């Protein structure tokens, strides 16, 4: 698998509106990305739907006319098989 770091966005919980936090991830299996923490990650300040270390599946979405990857679901362990 590639160890290249890719940009992705994580939904934040309990913000009162839809908010996406930009961060990075690393592919650990085909279509499975491990979420990396930002330098200023603070779980007491923001509740990430998928915290750092989570293995997620992403969906390409358009925001402001730009295509971004958004983590939308947890990856199952079977994804590594």
23-74: pLDDT as tens digits: 999 999 888 999 999 999 999 999 999 999 999 999 999 999 999 999 999 9
Cα 36 from Cα 54, distance rounded (Å): 8
How many domains does the chain divide into? 1
- pTM surpassing 0.75? yes
Give the Cα separation of 45 and 77 in Å (integer): 29
d(CA 80, CA 27): 11
Domain with 66, as residue range(s), is 5-80
Please check the confidence at residue 77 and state whether its pLDDT lies above 70. no
């Amino acid at each position: 698998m590639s160890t290249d770091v890719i940009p992705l966005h994580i939904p934040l919980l309990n913000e009162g509106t839809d908010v996406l936090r930009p961060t990075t991830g690393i592919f650990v299996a085909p279509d499975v990305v491990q979420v990396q923490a930002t330098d200023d990650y603070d779980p007491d300040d923001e509740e990430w739907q998928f915290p750092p270390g989570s293995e997620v599946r992403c969906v390409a979405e358009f925001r402001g006319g730009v295509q971004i990857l958004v983590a939308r679901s947890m990856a199952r362990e079977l994804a590594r098989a």
